[in-house]
């Protein structure tokens, strides 16, 4: 995946988090719960991909030396 794809995923996670906070503040608890769940899933996917890419980079750096 390209770096732009990772940043887009994180951007959407933050957008859904903001939607969740706003919906919760005005009393739309159903919308808030769905937006929060989407935000957590997208952030989790982003975090897993970031960890895998980081481990791969460290592995390649170790092999190169």
Residue 49 is part of which domain span?
3-64
Instruction: Tell which wins on pLDDT, 1 or 60.
Output: 60
pLDDT reported for residue 51: 93
CA distances from 54 to 9, 27, 38, 48, 62 (A): 17, 40, 24, 10, 12
Considering only CA atoms, which of 38, 30, 32 is closest in space to residue 14?
Answer: 38
pTM: 0.72
Query: Tens digits of per-residue pLDDT, 18-56?
Result: 998 899 889 888 988 999 899 899 889 989 988 998 899
Distance CA 23, CA 57 (A): 39
pLDDT reported for residue 13: 86
Split into its structural domains, the chain has a count of 1
């Amino acid at each position: 995946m390209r770096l732009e794809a990772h940043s887009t995923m994180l951007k959407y996670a933050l957008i859904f988090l903001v939607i969740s906070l706003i919906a919760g503040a005005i009393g739309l608890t159903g919308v808030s719960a769905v937006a929060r769940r989407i935000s957590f899933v997208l952030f989790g996917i982003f975090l897993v991909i970031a960890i895998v890419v980081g481990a791969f980079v460290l592995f390649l750096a170790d092999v190169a030396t």
